């Protein structure tokens, strides 16, 4: 079995900055992450996780872009996107230790820093203050999930795209239109029409 590649201090700089934005982490946590995190390079179109597999780690996106999607009658339905400085995990495994419901795929070449769920649990126990960071990260991602759910429940395509630009504009110019249409639950033709209307309004 190939040994896991451990991160350098420089590799950890982005993740430490993100964690410190929630709560000061301290040198002990830094040393723990340096010792227990591992690096993954994932080329475009490759899968980080497939439906039915168990996810044993949580991932920090150091570089690149990923998407989550489910399949229904051979149709891919995109459920979320994640890019630099964001976290990725299969929550059914992370929280409930069940097989993943989603697929996780790289849509750009990606560099990830990962920590096993077992090591994350040890981190929480050894450094209780890190629980504050964990809580705040989960709160943030719950809000993002609520925003996605709200968009999906709307029927008006114009409103869907308006909210996409409000909540997720950082993905707009990096994600294929077919994925955005799938994410919004509309056809590519409808998305093209809505985008044309938005572009026309901006020119006026």
Of 103, 105, 99, 104, which is closest to residue 52 (Cα–Cα)? 99
How far does CA 155 lie from the centroid of its chain? Answer: 25
pLDDT of 182 over the 70 cut:
yes
Point out the least confidently predicted range of 4-18, 84-98, 102-116, 133-147: 84-98
pLDDT digits (tens, 9 = 90+) for 20-71: 999 999 999 999 999 999 999 999 999 999 999 998 899 999 999 999 999 9
pLDDT of 79 over the 80 cut:
yes
Dist CA 46 CA 2 (whole Å):
19
* Structure confidence at residue 203 as a pLDDT band (50, 70, 90): low
Is there a contact between 111 and 84 (Cβ–Cβ < 8 Å)?
Answer: no
DSSP 85: T
Domain boundaries, the chain: 9-153, 154-198
pLDDT of 58: 94
Topology at the third CATH level for domain 9-153: Jelly Rolls (2.60.120)
How far does CA 106 lie from the centroid of its chain? Answer: 11
* Structure confidence at residue 2 as a pLDDT band (50, 70, 90): low
């Amino acid at each position: 079995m190939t040994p896991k590649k451990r991160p350098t201090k420089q590799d950890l700089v982005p993740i430490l900055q993100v964690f410190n934005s929630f709560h000061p982490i301290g040198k002990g946590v830094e040393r723990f992450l340096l010792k227990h995190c591992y690096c993954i390079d994932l080329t475009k179109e490759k899968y980080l996780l497939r439906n039915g597999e168990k996810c044993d780690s949580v991932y920090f996106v150091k570089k690149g872009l990923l998407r989550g999607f489910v399949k229904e009658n051979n149709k891919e339905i995109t459920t979320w996107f994640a890019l630099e400085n964001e976290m990725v995990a299969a929550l059914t495994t992370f929280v409930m230790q069940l097989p993943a419901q989603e697929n996780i795929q790289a849509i750009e070449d990606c560099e990830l820093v990962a920590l096993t769920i077992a090591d994350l649990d040890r981190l929480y126990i050894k450094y209780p203050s890190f629980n504050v960071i964990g809580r705040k990260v989960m709160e943030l991602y719950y809000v993002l999930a609520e925003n996605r759910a709200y968009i999906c429940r709307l029927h008006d395509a114009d409103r869907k795209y308006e909210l996409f630009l409000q909540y997720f504009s950082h993905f707009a110019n990096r994600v294929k239109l077919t994925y955005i249409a799938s994410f919004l639950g509309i056809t590519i033709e409808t998305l093209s029409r809505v985008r044309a209307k938005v572009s026309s309004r901006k020119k006026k």
